Structure formats: structure tokens, C-alpha cells
């Protein structure tokens, strides 16, 4: 069991979100599901709480009602190795949600994600401050991160 597990509070859409996320990420699975019974407080048979894994990372989902909503102050950072991975996750996670600046998006449940290629971190933390500055300026103009455009900015003389 992992020490720290993200716990996501949904308003009646925990099962839908869990199914959505596990269909997107490789090495994912649905774990235990607890459903509301006759005593409620949710509708009989609907998910009260559930566990699931996304790429091996454990999560817990709860249908807790409308009392709390998601905020971009908490997001999930997804480290991507290729442009193809960035493109696929960007499109799938943003479907029905909102594409935002600098690799951020909000999915259809209101959860914020950062879809970031590992190459970005490598270029931003490289030894040449001018190159890193150009990469940062290029990234700030992007919604979905484009590795080739970052490389062009990095290699610019």
C-alpha cells in the first residue's frame, strides 16, 4: 500500500470518472467498489467510494455530493516521454473539458492535469540560461506542449 493516496471527491460521477481515467492510462485498473445501500445517503446501488490505479498510482474516489469542487490549485502532473504520448493524453483528457495554457487542462469532471514532456524539464534546467529562457518564452505561448517547437527555441542561435 502506498503511503500517500490522492482522494478525489465527486458529486455523483465517481464511477464515470474512474472508468474514464482507467480507459486512458496504461497499466490501470479498477479496485474495490463500495456502493450505497438502503440506508443511503446516496441512491441505492451508486458508488459511494472506489479505489483505482492509473499507471500503477493508487487513487480513491468518493461520491460525496456538491459540497466541494475541484480547483487548479491541485493538479496531476503527467510526465510524458514522447510527443505522441502528449498528444494522446491531451486529447483524451481534455475531451468535454477545457484546454488551457502551458500544458494544463481541465477534464470534464473539473480535475486539472498538466501534460508535460520530460524534454521540457531537461531544456528548462539545462546549463545555458539563455537557451532555457527561450524555451520558457516558447512554452508560455503554447496550450498543448510541442516538443519540436521547444527544441527549435532551445537550438536557436
Q: In the predicted model, what is the mean pLDDT of residues 125-137? A: 95
For residue 84, pLDDT over 90 is answered with: yes
- The confidence score (pLDDT) of residue 40 equals 85
Residues 6+ apart with CB under 8 A from 10: 17, 61, 62, 63, 64, 109
Q: In the predicted model, what is the mean pLDDT of residues 127-132? A: 95
Q: Which CATH architecture has domain 1-68?
A: 2-Layer Sandwich (3.30)
- The confidence score (pLDDT) of residue 134 equals 97
Q: In the predicted model, what is the mean pLDDT of residues 91-115? A: 98
Q: In the predicted model, what is the mean pLDDT of residues 77-100? A: 98
- The confidence score (pLDDT) of residue 14 equals 97
Q: In the predicted model, what is the mean pLDDT of residues 3-13? A: 97
- Give the C-alpha distances (Å, rounded to integers) separating 6 from 2, 15, 76, 111, 123: 10, 16, 10, 12, 29
Portions of the chain given CATH number 3.30.720.100 = 1-68
Portions of the chain given CATH number 3.10.180.10 = 70-157
Q: Can you tell me whether residue 114 is helix, strand or coil?
A: strand
- The confidence score (pLDDT) of residue 1 equals 75
Q: In the predicted model, what is the mean pLDDT of residues 59-74? A: 96
For residue 127, pLDDT over 70 is answered with: yes
Cα angle 67, 91, 118 (rounded to 5 degrees) comes to: 95
pLDDT band with cut points at 50, 70 and 90 for residue 157: low
| Three-state helix/strand/coil letters over 47-80 | EEEEEEEECCEEEEEEECCCCCCCCCCCEEEEEE
Q: Which residues pair with 52 in a beta bridge?
A: 30, 59
How confident is the model over 28-46, as pLDDT tens digits?
999 999 999 999 888 999 9
Mean pLDDT rounded to a whole number for the chain: 96
- The confidence score (pLDDT) of residue 74 equals 97
70-157 domain in CATH 3.40.50.150? no
Amino acid at each position: 500500500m502506498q503511503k500517500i493516496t490522492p482522494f478525489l471527491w465527486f458529486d455523483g460521477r465517481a464511477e464515470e470518472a474512474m472508468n474514464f481515467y482507467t480507459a486512458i492510462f496504461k497499466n490501470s485498473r479498477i479496485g474495490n467498489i463500495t456502493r450505497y445501500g438502503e440506508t443511503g445517503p446516496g441512491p441505492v446501488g451508486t458508488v459511494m467510494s472506489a479505489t483505482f490505479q492509473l499507471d500503477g498510482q493508487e487513487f480513491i474516489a468518493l461520491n460525496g455530493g456538491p459540497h466541494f469542487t475541484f480547483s487548479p490549485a491541485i493538479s496531476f502532473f503527467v510526465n510524458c516521454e514522447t510527443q505522441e504520448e502528449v498528444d494522446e493524453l491531451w486529447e483524451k483528457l481534455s475531451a468535454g473539458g477545457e484546454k488551457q495554457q502551458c500544458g494544463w487542462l481541465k477534464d470534464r469532471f473539473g480535475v486539472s492535469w498538466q501534460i508535460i514532456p520530460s524534454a521540457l524539464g531537461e531544456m528548462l534546467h539545462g546549463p545555458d540560461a539563455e537557451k532555457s529562457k527561450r524555451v520558457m518564452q516558447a512554452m508560455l505561448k503554447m496550450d498543448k506542449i510541442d516538443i519540436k517547437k521547444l527544441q527549435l527555441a532551445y537550438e536557436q542561435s
